[in-house]
Amino acid sequence: MDINLISAQIKEELDKIVSCDQLEALRLKYLGRKGVIAELTGSIPAVNPQERGAFGKAVNALKQQLFVSLEEKQRSLGVSKAPAPESAETDLGMPGIAQELGHKHPITGIIDQVCGIFSQMGFKVLEGPEIETEHNNFTGLNIPLEHPSRDAFDTFYLKDYEKLLLRSHTSPMQVRAMAKSKPPLAIVVPGRVYRPDAVDASHLFMFHQIEGLMVDQGVKFSDLKGVLEVFVKAVFGKDVAMRFRPHFFPFTEPSVEVDISCIICKGKGCSVCGRKGWLEILGAGLVHPNVFQQAGYDAKKFSGFAFGMGVERIAMLKYGINDIRLFFENDLRFLKQF
């Protein structure tokens, strides 16, 4: 057989090829188990010894050339195709083999992300008890026990334990942190909180909050704005706008609620933001002097800010989850998406 002739023939046939199937047919004709190249290779021992070496080399060169041509042709056809199983060692169409990893709960994911952002800014992450005293949950935070401001903090009380309750917010950790250490102080506190709320798609009797507190000399409202801006841009993206609405919390003065421009409709107004174009994401303010006084801090010398956010709320906005109960159902089809 004349190798040059075969080579020319291949070139001619290759030029006519317009589809992957044709290319595969050509590949089988020449490179298949009973293909032309195999036949040539099989004929090597029959060649006389003087010419055998040269012939072998030529066959090999032809084979290499063929590989290159096929690959070029395949690229020019613009489609890559997994090699057919009978000719390859592994069928790459089969599922890959790997150790399946477990999934982090989306609430943990948000807590890790948010606390990570504040950690980078120098805040320390702390955790606190879920069973609290009336003092830490209310009076230490300037919330009178009998006042309409308590309505926002309906609380589970423990039976058999006088004045103990399930914390209704993470703010009691402000009281604990200030009792434990002197300023400067910069902390974030994630954790579970409890309120006897009727259960529906947006309310549950247990949820998560992240509390933040910073106390030092000369801390001012513009600092709170700056720190929250870093947080919002890191979690929701650089293009998100922010606004501060005056609000009332007994433990901060001035107090604000912070809105971000709706991440769904970009501020145009949709069902998620109630046509307002804004989404409320957290409450904040400068620490009330009465809170400092209770903590034994000199309110003339120190100032500070505090903020608190609902983790489920942030997760729902970020991931487009419309029912808070999904977080606690722990359906694997839900968990495995995070």
Identify residues 41-70 at the interface with other proteins (CB under 8 A): none
Closest contact distance (angstroms) between CB of 216 and other proteins is 7
| Residue 19 DSSP one-character state | S
The one among 31, 164, 270, 272 contacting other proteins by CB under 8 A: 164
335 binds other proteins (CB under 8 A): yes
230 binds other proteins (CB under 8 A): yes
Closest contact distance (angstroms) between CB of 139 and other proteins is 15
Closest contact distance (angstroms) between CB of 252 and other proteins is 9
Only one of the segments 3-11, 26-34, 73-81, 254-262 lies at the binding site for other proteins (rule: CB under 8 A); that segment is 254-262
Closest contact distance (angstroms) between CB of 56 and other proteins is 34
Block residue for tokens 């032809």: 62
Q: How wide is the angle at C-alpha 208 spanned by C-alphas 253 and 255, nearest 5°? A: 10
Spatial strand order in the sheet of 124-125: 124-125, 185-194, 206-216, 303-310, 278-287, 252-261, 242-249
Question: Which residue in 69, 76, 73 sits closest to 37, CA to CA?
Answer: 69
Only one of the segments 49-57, 65-73, 80-88, 126-134 lies at the binding site for other proteins (rule: CB under 8 A); that segment is 126-134
- Considering beta carbons, is residue 17 or 227 the nearer one to other proteins? 227
CA dist., res. 18 & res. 152, Å (int):
72
200 binds other proteins (CB under 8 A): no
CA dist., res. 77 & res. 81, Å (int):
11
Closest contact distance (angstroms) between CB of 121 and other proteins is 6
Only one of the segments 20-28, 33-41, 63-71, 146-154 lies at the binding site for other proteins (rule: CB under 8 A); that segment is 146-154
Beta carbons of 287 and 304 less than 8 angstroms apart? yes
The one among 219, 260, 279, 282 contacting other proteins by CB under 8 A: 219
The one among 238, 246, 271, 296 contacting other proteins by CB under 8 A: 246
Give Rg (Cα) of the chain: 35
Only one of the segments 27-35, 36-44, 65-73, 142-150 lies at the binding site for other proteins (rule: CB under 8 A); that segment is 142-150
Closest contact distance (angstroms) between CB of 32 and other proteins is 24
Which residues make Cβ contacts (< 8 Å) with residue 284, sequence separation at least 6? 224, 228, 244, 252, 255, 256, 257, 258, 305, 306, 307, 308
Beta carbons of 176 and 128 less than 8 angstroms apart? yes
Q: Pick out residues in 295-324 that bind other proteins (CB under 8 A).
A: 303
CA dist., res. 209 & res. 190, Å (int):
6
CA dist., res. 314 & res. 175, Å (int):
25
The SS3 call for residue 253 is strand
In whole angstroms, how far apart are CA 139 and each of 134, 178, 293? 7, 14, 12
Closest contact distance (angstroms) between CB of 236 and other proteins is 16
272 binds other proteins (CB under 8 A): no
In whole angstroms, how far apart are CA 101 and each of 26, 98, 113, 336? 43, 9, 20, 10
194 binds other proteins (CB under 8 A): yes
93 binds other proteins (CB under 8 A): no
The one among 63, 73, 192, 318 contacting other proteins by CB under 8 A: 192
Q: Pick out residues in 99-118 that bind other proteins (CB under 8 A).
A: 99-105, 107-108, 112
